[in-house]
Structure 1
Amino acid sequence: MRLFNRYTGMISVALASFVCTLPAQAASDHLLSSIQKKWAECQYQSKDEDNQVYCLENLVKMSEKALSQQPDRPDLKVWLAISKSSLAGADGGVSALSLVKSAKVLLEEVIEQAPETLDGSAYTSLGSLYYKVPGWPIGFGSDKKAEKMLKKALEMNPDGIDPNYFYGDFLAEDGRKKQAIDYLQRAAKAAPRPGRELADKGRQAEIAKRLKDLGV
């Protein structure tokens, strides 16, 4: 049974220092983009459920290795959390709860230490967990906390596709159809994200489906 059913002199010295940071920065950006690309492939291109679980298991390992090599990067913490929660949703087995609890801890650490990371993505991800995970005594789900986190995400990234989509989805689950449609339509109008073409295409398909379910 699935646990979830809704479920980044002086001038010469400064210039030299700047140039020396470019390869490291480029490598860091490539690492993050590789994880994001892999997630989109797992989420939207897996041929079946077993293939998706296998893909996400490898993504978790990839994300864990990346974070172990660069433990001070909050963006990698966010993506390890996303990887774990995505695996929990796809697998839905007995390990799902431990995966989402681990994801929750990672996201809380980012919110405490670097909340602006990836335009507040930790708030979006934690908010989605709060409304998708069952409540007590099984899990830590809470619609009240979900709405608080998702509204904070929107404060930090009001035009983003993900915060608008997840808040719209939350509102739909909560029976607030008119508001849900408003936020889902905002998500549908979000600007494309460079390098995230597959993720955007997949998310837009989810938005369209949700709107159709709501009669739009």
Structure 2
Amino acid sequence: MKVMNAFMVALLTPASACALAESTLMDLQHDWSVCQYQTLEAKKEGCFSALSQRAHEASRAKNDADATLLIWSGIVDSSWAGAKGGLSALSLVKQAKGSLEKAIAIDPGALQGSAWTSLGALYYQVPGWPVGFGDKDKADEMLKKALTINPDGIDPNYFYGDFLLKEKKTDEAKMYLQKALQAPARPGRDIADNGRRRDIANDLAMIK
């Protein structure tokens, strides 16, 4: 993606500036899907590293005031942390947490509550004190908040189901995971939807 200089950006009309922001968001969503679901494990960290730089540049271009770009900065960084693994990934999850919290402060309902979903996922996946900020009660609260905003979405239902599964609440987990499978397709998000359905199938296979 080419980066426009300040002079070119200044020439954009309000309508074309809006289109640029939308295109940037769509590019980030698509390229995250490629990193997450179509990239070899050995190359995922490098893929997410490069994408993180692009996401933060896009957000800074909007003075970190665009909730949608902050959300995707957080999503990319949390995915990068997952690919990196270990204690060295903690700085990335903290950075992701900061981006998501900023997004919520700006617009808590942005992208159908995606910041709540992603932040809730961090709270149950990250180790608790004294290593990290993980907190199961906060995870439960935030994932439920995401579901109130987007009750039929594939991601909020998947992550709440995955959380419940890890808490060994298998009956409840199965209900949310099955609902996630029934979620409507998201336009332009085919790679992500197909990949998420595989995640859901893997979780359901663990429930006997």
| Structure-1-length-normalised TM-score | 0.88
Question: 1:152-187 deviations in whole A, cap 9, x for unaligned?
Answer: 000000000000000000000001000000000010
- Aligned partners of 1:22, 1:184: CA distance in 2, in Å? 40
How much has 1:75 moved relative to structure 2? 0.4
Aligned mate of 1:74, from 38, 58, 67 = 67
Q: Which runs of 5+ in 2 are unaligned?
A: 1-12
Structure-2 separation of matches of 1:64 and 1:104:
14
- Deviation, 1:94, is 4.1
Structure 2 CA distance for aligned equivalents of residues 68 and 106 of structure 1 = 11
1:213 and 2:206 are equivalent in the alignment? yes
Q: How many residues align?
A: 195
Residue in 2 that maps onto 1:27: 20
What is the SS of the residue equivalent to 2:44? helix
Alignment match, 1:86 = 79
Q: Aligned letter for 1:63?
A: A
1:185 and 2:153 are equivalent in the alignment? no
Q: Which amino acid aligns with 1:164?
A: N
State the partner residue of 1:55.
47
RMSD, aligned α-carbons: 1.0
User: How far did 1:135 drift?
Assistant: 0.3
Percent identical: 49
Match of 1:161 in 2: 154
Quote the Cα distance in structure 2 between the aligned partners of 1:55 and 1:106: 20
SS at match of 1:77: helix
Alpha-carbon separation, structure 2, partners of 1:22 and 1:187: 35
CA distance in 1, matches of 2:58, 2:68: 11
SS in 2 for 1:141: coil
Residue among 197, 203, 209 paired with 2:190:
197
Residue 152 of structure 2 aligns with an amino acid whose one-letter code is D
Question: Does 2:29 match 1:36?
Answer: yes
Q: How many angstroms apart in 2 are the aligned matches of 1:114 and 1:31?
A: 19
1:128-167 matches, within 5 Å, as 128-167=121-160
Greater RCO, 1 or 2 (C-alpha within 8 Å, sep 6+): 1
Unaligned runs of 5+ in 1: 1-19
1:63 aligns to what SS in structure 2?
helix
Q: How does 1:112-131 map to 2 (within 5 A)?
A: 112-131=105-124
Cα distance in 2 for residues equivalent to 1:187 and 1:194: 16
SS at match of 1:192: coil
Give the whole-Å Cα distance in 2 for the aligned partners of 1:125 and 1:207: 16
Q: Deviations over 1:80-118 (max 9, x none)?
A: 001111000111144310110111111112222210110
State the shift of 1:58 in Å. Answer: 0.5
Q: Which segments of structure 1 move beyond 6 Å, counting only runs of 4 or more?
A: none
